[in-house]
Amino acid sequence: MQPQASKKKKPAKERQVLVCRGTGCESQKAKILFDNLEHELKMLGLDDDIEVKFTGCHGFCQQGPTVIVMPAGTFYCNVQPEDADEIVKIDIKDGGKVERLLFIDPKTKERVLSYKDMKFFSPQRRIVLKNCGFINPEDIDDYIAVGGYQGIQKALGGSRMDVINEIKKSGLRGRGGGGFPTGMKWEFCHNSPGDQKYLICNADEGDPGAFMDRAVLEGDPHAVLEGMMIAAYAIGASKAYIYCRAEYPMAYERSMIAIDQATKRGFLGKKIFGSDMNFEIKLKLGAGAFVCGEETALMASIEGKRGMPMPRPPFPAVKGLFGKPTNINNVETFGNIATIMTKGGDWFASVGTEKSKGTKVFALAGKISYSGLVEIPMGTPLREIIDEIGGGIPNKRKFKAAQTGGPSGGCIPSEHFDIPMDYENLTQVGSIMGSGGLIVTDETTCMVDMAKFFLGFTQKESCGKCVPCRLGTKKMLEVLGDISKGKATMEDLEQLLELAQDVKGGSLCGLGQTAPNPVLSTVRYFRDEYEAHILRKECPARVCVDLIKFQVNEENCQKCGLCFKACPAGAVSWEKKQTAKIDVSKCIKCRSCILACRFNAID
């Protein structure tokens, strides 16, 4: 049985106007922009020849809302609802370009016409994100038109072990953080006896700054459903859950629409594609607990219990949801599966490195020119991701470190700026791949403050079940607070490191075991900053408010007035062609002047 497009649906029009309506763009009036474009086309009588289509996020979030005119691929950024008439009249009707809305290359200063020529997109290798930004996520026919649901048919044409062996051949590793071989994980569950087996898609993405899973569910939910169908066939599961965090209402809604469409089309339910496979998917809304990203806590939440981790063994593959064999993968992992089945495990294994196959989606954030989602082959150097794709560090500042893996990860200092981004290399420098958060810092970032931020996050999110995590992280946070205030001693620093090892070794689950990582990695690479706070009562990055006061360096001051304009407290006085001055009595130490100054003139 071949998946068929709806008979009622008209053939897709060659000329299309793609409007990004992911969460980021939708928050900036993308819906009104979409309606205005449709209205303008109708007013000019062009609506029969040109389709306005809304899509999910294509990744270049910094430039949203965005519009892509196909088939030329003309990319318009920062588009407002009132710009719709110009796009329709100048581009679509007359064949010109609305130059003021084109992206300007930061290095060449030239306007770029097509998204294919933009350095944000051109180095990427998209597998998981290939449809995001180009198909309507609420239209199953759009997914079928680009080859959707062919992977499950190919899987059903072979045995369960054939599917597992293909995934093992691909070398795909779990993209949720642990990096465990996916095919091996499936095989464990396949071999576990049981009259009922479950499959779970972990969409409880909680790392600060990470939004990869959200974008995939918003932009290409059917790819996740198809990946789950293939996995369910491989392990012998007939029921599945997508565990989606409540903070993702659009991802939840579009997943619900996709499940409903697939069920009505007969792709979910009984005897899928004429086979003996029965499979249903339910959505479970999580309440925002970070610890529920851990497998056993997640299963407890689905069962209606408090989300708290359980000791392992037994592992979920043996005794999981409702006591039955269960397999859990995250959204990005499932997003790879259908493509692997259609193109083959060998094809996927040809991308990436020897031990880290395929691509990885990263969420670029922090002190970088262009934040957003990027999908690059495993092994791509960090420098290329930041300088080429991300446009480098703004305001002529220097790269200091990158935090990968969120609160569970560690920092990569400038001495490892050329590190290939794969599982093995990140582990060697004391960090982890994690789910794909990549937060960039420059010299205005205090590493003590950053460690305190991440540890504060995990301390709040601790379920409190085990003593090392519940009390150990609290005490660590107190020591970090004393360091940032200049009240700590070198003995306190040694105690901090001892506590970190105790929490790491004694905690029950991954949250506690990895909570000390940001502290350990920042002390490893930036011990001098910790010592400056302790011994000299100074914050080299000028962040920790208890250790700083602000003044203008007259030699560096360019008399531009940027600090004056940025100060929210009226503490900066300035006149044209005059050096700025700071009134310490009015200064609230918000650092707005430091961030605004491009000449390092605030001491």
pLDDT tens readout for residues 54-95: 999 999 988 989 999 999 999 999 999 999 999 999 999 999
Classified as helix, coil or strand, 320 is coil
Classified as helix, coil or strand, 52 is strand
| Token pair 């791509």: residue | 380
Q: Which residues pair with 202 in a beta bridge?
A: 243, 330
| Token pair 């990203």: residue | 293
Which of the pair, 208 or 374, is modelled with greater confidence? 374
pLDDT digits (tens, 9 = 90+) for 480-505: 999 999 999 999 999 999 999 999 99
Classified as helix, coil or strand, 243 is strand
What pLDDT does residue 9 have? 57
What pLDDT does residue 105 have? 87
Q: How many CA atoms lie within 13 A of 343 on its CB side?
A: 16
Kindly state the DSSP code that residue 389 receives in the 8-state scheme.
Answer: I
How confident is the prediction for the chain on average, in pLDDT? 93
Its pTM surpasses 0.85:
yes
Assign 11 a pLDDT band (cuts: 50, 70, 90): low
Q: By CB neighbour count within 10 A (0-12 exposed, 13-18 middle, 19+ buried), where does 523 fall?
A: buried
What pLDDT does residue 555 have? 87
- Asked whether residue 8 carries a pLDDT value surpassing 80, the answer given is no
pLDDT digits (tens, 9 = 90+) for 13-57: 779 999 999 999 999 999 999 999 999 999 999 988 899 999 999
* In the chain, % of residues over pLDDT 90: 82
* In the chain, % of residues over pLDDT 70: 98
What pLDDT does residue 288 have? 82
Q: How many CA atoms lie within 13 A of 309 on its CB side?
A: 23
Assign 142 a pLDDT band (cuts: 50, 70, 90): very high
pLDDT digits (tens, 9 = 90+) for 210-257: 899 999 999 999 999 999 999 999 999 999 999 999 999 999 999 999
pLDDT digits (tens, 9 = 90+) for 426-479: 999 989 888 889 999 999 999 999 999 999 999 999 998 999 999 999 999 999
Assign 6 a pLDDT band (cuts: 50, 70, 90): low
Phi-psi region of 213 (alpha: psi -120 to 50; beta: other; left: phi over 0): alpha
Give whole-number Cα distances, 423 to 9, 353, 418, 432, in Å.
44, 10, 15, 7
